[in-house]
């Protein structure tokens, strides 16, 4: 009978090891590396257009840490005061994690491409 106890302990330890391996694999698969994010940003418009709504929300949650809003809509129509990203983003030649919009003047451009 002492061997049976030892086999039971070995089987239990193997199950625990397998459980830990699965947890490690899950953690690794959920991590977003900087290189993965960079490659994603290069093809962002194509990928985002193909995503369904839940995936779009998950992606934006991974990219944006926080959005600060004004308490009321301003005369210029802007609600967003500041955007904080989860990683540095290149903007006008500088890498920033925070994009304050209250001092910035944004220009909206609408264009139409026509294939003839």
Question: What tens digit of pLDDT does each residue of 42-76 get?
Answer: 777 787 888 889 888 888 888 889 999 988 888 88
Strand 64-69 relative to strand 94-100: parallel, antiparallel, unpaired?
unpaired
CA 62 – CA 33 distance, rounded (Å): 11
Question: What H or E segment, with its residue span, contains residue 11?
Answer: helix 2-30
Question: Is residue 89 within 8 Å of 99, Cβ to Cβ?
Answer: yes
β-pair partners for 84: 66, 98
Q: Considering the entire predicted model, what is its pTM?
A: 0.47
For the chain, what is the mean pLDDT? 78
């Amino acid at each position: 009978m002492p061997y049976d106890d030892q086999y039971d302990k070995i089987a239990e330890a193997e199950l625990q090891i397998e459980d830990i391996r699965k947890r490690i694999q899950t953690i690794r698969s959920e991590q977003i590396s900087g290189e993965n994010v960079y490659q994603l940003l290069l093809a962002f418009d194509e990928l985002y257009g193909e995503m369904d709504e839940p995936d779009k929300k998950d992606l934006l949650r991974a990219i944006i840490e926080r959005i600060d809003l004004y308490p009321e809509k301003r005369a210029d129509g802007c609600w967003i005061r500041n955007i904080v990203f989860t990683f540095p983003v290149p903007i006008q030649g500088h890498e920033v994690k925070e994009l304050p919009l209250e001092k910035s003047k944004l220009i909206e451009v609408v264009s139409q491409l026509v294939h003839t």
